[in-house]
Amino acid sequence: MSADKFDAVIVGGGHNALAAAVHLSACGQSVCVVERAAKVGGAIATEEVTLPGFRHDLYAMNLSLFAGSPFARAYGDKLAAHGLAYLPAHDCFASAFPDGRWLGVSNALEENVARIAAFDAGDAQRWRAMTAGFERDAPHYFALLGTPMRAGPLARLALKTLRARGLGFTREAARMLLASPRDFLDANFASPHLKATLAPWALHLDFPPDASGGALFPYLEAMADQAFGMVIGKGGADVIPKALASLFTASGGIIRTGVAAEAIEVTGGRAGTVRLSDGSAVSASEAVLASVTPAALLRLIGSSGRPDTDAGLAAFRPGPGTMMIHIAASALPEWQAGEALKKFAYVHLSPTLAHLSATYAEAMEGLIPNEPGIVVGQPTAINPSRAPAGQHALWLQVRVVPSEIRGDAAGTIAARTWNEAKEAVADRVMAIVERYAPGFGQTVLARTVMSPADLERANPNLAGGDSLGGSHHLNQNFLFRPAPGFHGYRTPVKGLYMIGSSTWPGAGAGAGSGYLAAQQIAGR
């Protein structure tokens, strides 16, 4: 069967894939995107999954990484013309505590300093000093996250950093990249409440308090939210893929949905033709980009031709599982710690570093955590139009849970499959929220539970409910993501590139891998 011919074919329709498609198309290449789902978007999606009129972000909610990304700086005006719009959250994230107190970070230094001072005056002064240093330090950290993991770009970045800040900062930056969240938090703050407020951001990327390499994330999230605020999508997170797809197709790009890639044919050591589930095929003269997990890439190509690379891809570890609970509610939670919590985009219910460590350890042992960590997203506090007037769409993320259940840490759930266990686990989560917000259960109009198994069924890239594209621990991050021997996004197969969350810079909505790979392919 003959194949439709393009300069580039992209397997997968997530935001990294679409960002790559937009840039390659802008550079004059003909591009086709193929996506197995009925519409593009991947892990950035918004649906009415509870009741009509309640629009829920199924996975990602915080779009700040995309809004501040190099890709958005290059294409933001064009995307805005195709419908991309954000809404700012002044009150970004907070934690509620069992002692009836709360602590949060808003887009206002003095507000944050006053809140922290109520817990520890010394911490408030250290927070102010950290804020002063952020303006100097952050550009260098963000530059690293936007640099491809190749020798030339890394050498240029190191030289630029040395010239700008000297050896002292460069050494301290390296220490920060290797430090655990606890290392960073204990070195800077005394209040256990402040530490517990910041630490969950490391767990968002698979770093419990004592895992090396996780210190950077709570620092950047807190300081960036204070400096710039947080943004969510106007009407839903799906404004990103909708705008990307609209811009791409307006420039002549082709998107085929509802059709899966079954194989990437390699002839003479080069990737060319992509065989599709409907019996058709598309071919690429320049590049095939696969926005998939390492295991999926191996299934598509059979072998890269290099046993060491194949072994590295096969050994790539997923992150822990995630559960999503979407709630249609008649009201926002009545937070016992304070009415002000209703204004925050996120409320974490992870009261101590010990709690984060325990729930992570239980999940990694295959146990349903006794007291899972919970992130309560309140998008309708910022964007009321996502629900009928006076009502709310709530986003509950449970971090972390096992991908496969071996037992229950509390000893009360006997089920060992997610299909059987998910409602009981959701009941446990709801009971925890009820402790912090009495009467919460009475406001629930409907709920939809998405277990790790459900997440993978909806999107195979969410393997085992892993929303990160794989663990970000140091042995598979930076130069080791997704496997030793990769040269940027180029695979050992000529013309074949891998993008997506399993590649540098990893998880998040920043479109980094898609844009960096497309720049590499296009030469600009």
328, 446 in Cβ contact below 8 A? yes
Residue 28 token pair: 């004059």
Domain ranges of the chain: 4-42+64-85+237-317+461-522, 108-228, 318-458
498, 491 in Cβ contact below 8 A? yes
- Strand positions, DSSP E, 214-280: 230-233, 254-257, 261-267, 270-276
CA distance 485 to 213: 21
Residue in the structure block whose two tokens are 């936007």 = 146
Query: Is-same-fold flag (4-42+64-85+237-317+461-522; 318-458)?
Result: no
Cα dihedral sign, 305-306-310-316: negative
Class of domain 318-458: alpha beta
**DSSP codes, 67-121:** HTSHHHHHHHHHHHHTT--EEEESEEEEEE-TTS-EEEEES-HHHHHHHHHTT-H
Q: What confidence score (pLDDT) does residue 407 get? A: 98
Cβ contacts of 32 within 8 Å, gap of 6 or more: 4, 6, 8, 9, 10, 253, 254, 255, 256, 282
How does 374-396 read in b/e, with b if 16+ C-beta sit within 10 Å? Answer: bbbbbbbbbbeebbbeebbbbbb
CA distance 44 to 507: 12
3-state secondary structure of 312: helix
One-letter amino acid for residue 300 of the chain: L
Residue 74 token pair: 């290059």
Q: Which of 286, 220, 87, 102 is nearest to 505 (CA)?
A: 220
CA distance 250 to 199: 43
CA distance 67 to 88: 11
Strands 367-368 and 373-377: unpaired
Residue 319, by phi and psi: left (phi above 0), alpha (psi -120 to 50) or beta? beta
Before 200, cis peptide (omega within 30)?
no
Q: What confidence score (pLDDT) does residue 2 get? A: 67
For residue 482, the 8-state DSSP code is: S
CA distance from start to end of the chain: 35
Per-residue pLDDT of the chain (524 residues; tens, 9 = 90+): 568 999 999 999 999 999 999 999 999 999 999 999 999 999 999 999 999 999 999 999 999 999 999 999 999 999 999 999 999 999 999 999 999 999 999 999 999 999 999 999 999 999 999 999 999 999 999 999 999 998 899 999 999 999 999 999 999 999 999 999 999 999 999 999 999 999 999 999 999 999 999 999 999 999 999 999 999 999 999 999 999 999 999 999 999 999 999 999 999 999 999 999 999 999 999 999 999 999 999 999 999 989 999 999 999 999 999 999 999 999 999 999 999 999 999 999 999 999 999 999 999 999 999 999 999 999 999 999 999 999 999 999 999 999 999 999 999 999 999 999 999 999 999 999 999 999 999 999 999 999 999 999 999 999 999 999 999 999 999 999 999 878 789 999 999 999 999 999 999 999 999 999 999 999 99
**DSSP codes, 10-54:** EE--BHHHHHHHHHHHHTT--EEEEESSSSSBTT--EE--SSTT-
Residue in the structure block whose two tokens are 């260098």 = 140
Residue 83, by phi and psi: left (phi above 0), alpha (psi -120 to 50) or beta? left
- 213 exposed, middle or buried (CB, 10 Å; 0-12, 13-18, 19+)? buried
Cα dihedral sign, 50-389-91-445: negative
- 48 exposed, middle or buried (CB, 10 Å; 0-12, 13-18, 19+)? middle
Residue 1 token pair: 């069967």
Q: What is the CATH number of domain 4-42+64-85+237-317+461-522?
A: 3.50.50.60
Q: Calculate the alpha carbon distances from 226 to 112, 115, 121, 218, 303 in Å.
A: 8, 13, 19, 12, 46
202, 181 in Cβ contact below 8 A? yes
The full 3-state SS of 132-150, as one line of letters, equals HHHHHHHHHHHHHHCCCCC
70, 515 in Cβ contact below 8 A? yes
22, 252 in Cβ contact below 8 A? no
Residue 143 token pair: 């530059």
97, 337 in Cβ contact below 8 A? yes
Before 400, cis peptide (omega within 30)?
yes
CA distance 85 to 13: 20
